[in-house]
Amino acid sequence: MKNITVVIPAYNEEERIGETLQAVKSIPGISRVIVVSDGSTDATASRAREEGVEVLELYPNRGKGGAMNAVLPFLNLEQREPSLSAEATELGFVPQLSTREHYTADSSANLLLPQLEGKAADIVIFLDADLGASASQASRLIEPVAKGMADLSIASFPPPQKKGGFGLVKGTAAWLIRKVGKMEARAPLSGQRAMTREVLQAVTPFNEGYGVELGMSVNALLQGFKLIEVPTTMSHNESGRDLKGFFHRGRQFWDVLRVIGDLRRKGI
């Protein structure tokens, strides 16, 4: 039986994280759930602990890519004895003995390190924290990876309920994936992904910020891994055509351009 770990980066999601976690825990075969509270100033971390999952708290906010990179040392990917990895040391973490399934990384670099026991994850799933009950649809991502039909599966969403941007960010990301991997991507920026341990090891460390998903797809394709998109009925908070929405998409576009710039510097 496959060992499956779910990682959920979260920033100020106290209203939705509980429902999201309940849905995730209802999926058969999930071995471990880790919430990365990325500089949250609300009750995100405490709500997650109430659901009985592991919680990594980061201060200050690192952005999505940074939060996903921060959890890597705790996934025990290489099936070694529990210890503070070189990557964790580079992040400035200092371990303290603890059996609590709760980590805290703050400005003084204190870290409560749990006992990392059991087998390394065969499949790692990354999900957004605001999926709510629709997070149960993550089960659809597991099957193609578990059965060897794909190395990385990506959830596509139904059409948005309200108008967002003008498609520039999504279109640019889809163009890059098409150029690199000859793949027509309908959900190039989707954060809902399941992958084998081998893929995760090959595509990390992740790009920073909102470029994490695009960078992940491009790096996986360049290394010959098979990607597929899986239709789901997932839903989450949508950004509209207001100042906040345009600011969010502006940051996304900048991070997408950074991914393109990184590839050009590598001669790709």
**Chain-centre distance for alpha carbon 106:** 21
> Amino acid identity of 1?
M
pLDDT of residue 251: 77
pLDDT of residue 100: 33
Contacts of 146 (CB under 8 A, 6+ apart): 2, 123
Element (H, E) at 46: helix 44-50
Binned average pLDDT, 10 residues per bin, the chain of 268 residues: 93 97 97 97 97 96 94 76 41 33 40 49 96 97 97 92 70 91 91 97 89 93 97 79 62 80 77
pLDDT of residue 87: 42
Residue 186's closest CA among 217, 212, 207, 163?
A: 217
Contacts of 149 (CB under 8 A, 6+ apart): 143, 226, 228
> Amino acid identity of 216?
M
Cis previous bond, 144, omega within 30:
no
pLDDT of residue 190: 94
Structure-block tokens of residue 112: 């409560």
Q: What is the DSSP letter of 31?
A: E
**Domain boundaries, given as residue ranges, for the chain:** 4-113, 143-265
pLDDT of residue 94: 32
Residue 24's closest CA among 123, 131, 114, 116?
A: 131
**Chain-centre distance for alpha carbon 181:** 21
pLDDT of residue 247: 61
- Assign a CATH topology to domain 143-265: Spore Coat Polysaccharide Biosynthesis Protein SpsA; Chain A (3.90.550)
